[in-house]
Amino acid sequence: MGHSKLDLLQGTLDLMVLQTLASMGPLHGYGIARRIEQASGDAILLNQGTIYASLVRLQQRGWISAEWGTSDNNRKAKFYSITKRGRKQLTEDAAYWQRLSSVMDRVLALPGEEAEP
Amino acid sequence: MIDRLRQSLQRFLSLFRRAGLDQEHDAEVAAHLDLAIDENRKNGMSDEEARRQALIRLGGVAQTKENYRDYRSIAWLETPFRDFCFALRILRKSPGFCVFAILALALGIGFSSIVFSIFLRNAAVKFAPVWSSARWRFPCSYWSLQGSSFAALLPSPTSIPA
């Protein structure tokens, strides 16, 4: 592999977790970590343990809720689901990231010096 | 803004439920490892390798728990709070010592305040510009002569000119 994996920017993991829960429904911590890894095509560097720091942050802000349940293969696990306030926050944050990334695209698309006549 | 306040409040409150929350998180991390090991086994790894890979992907059990605790509560408040609880526990274990310590502190503080309030009163008599002016009939030496008695320290009504 020529390229190393991407480090996550501050705040991006929270948004990824919210989006994953919004699209997949209730999931346990391991499930969330795996979905994010799969969605990113294994391009991001994710210590699965950091998911739990993100989950506790989101829970304390009231954006997700948690309860214990049983997984498909009969293991007890804590399942997280997104709340109404979490969905609202997700809409706001996603719009922000889209704006930011389109600005970055435009700035980075400026021609380099050697391309100038 | 409200969400941030709510988060700060939750982090503060979590100081009082540390044991329960830690236990719950321990169970959660254990469940995470079990799920990862199950999946690795399904992909054809040996038991040992499945566990090893699960731990690597998690990034270590101790690190995960520590990271979680850092975000859950207020780190700079947690240590002093823990020390305070520890002190209370120890004191409860030896009530005799506890009573003695509280009495010693109470008496010490009480006596110090008495002595200092008297000293300050005396000093005020000596140094306060108004009281040392000509209108004040009792010279300071009077106080030092009578200083051994508390009553003498109180200005008698006759000392203040009408």
Alpha helices in chain B (DSSP H): 2-13, 18-42, 47-58, 61-72, 75-93, 95-127, 140-145, 150-153
ipTM: 0.81
What do you get for the CA distance between the two ends of chain A, in Å? 36
pTM, rounded to two decimals: 0.70
Q: What is the mean pLDDT of residues A23-52?
A: 90
What is the set of domains in chain A, with CATH numbers?
12-109 (1.10.10.10)
CB B4 within 8 A of CB A61: yes
Whether the pLDDT of residue B148 is over 70: the answer is no
Q: Strand, helix or coil at A5?
A: coil
Q: Determine the residue of chain B that is closest to A80 in CA distance.
A: B28
What do you get for the CA distance between the two ends of chain B, in Å? 65
User: Which distant-in-sequence residues (6+ apart) come within 8 Å of B22 by Cβ?
Assistant: B65, B69
Q: What is the mean pLDDT of residues A58-69?
A: 94
Closest partner CB to B10 (pick from A52, A60, A63)? A60
CB A51 within 8 A of CB A79: no
- Number of neighbouring beta carbons within 10 Å of residue B33: 19
CB A78 within 8 A of CB A59: no
Query: What's the CA gap between B43 and B50, in Å, rounded?
Result: 9
- Determine the residue among A56, A63, A93 to mutate to test chain B binding: the one whose Cβ has the most chain B Cβ atoms within 10 Å: A56
Model confidence band, residue A43 (pLDDT cutoffs 50, 70, 90): confident
Rounded to the nearest angstrom, the minimum Cα separation between B76 and chain A is 17
Whether the pLDDT of residue A93 is over 60: the answer is yes
pLDDT digits (tens, 9 = 90+) for B108-144: 999 999 988 887 777 766 665 555 455 555 555 545 5
Structure tokens belonging to residue B103? 């009495």
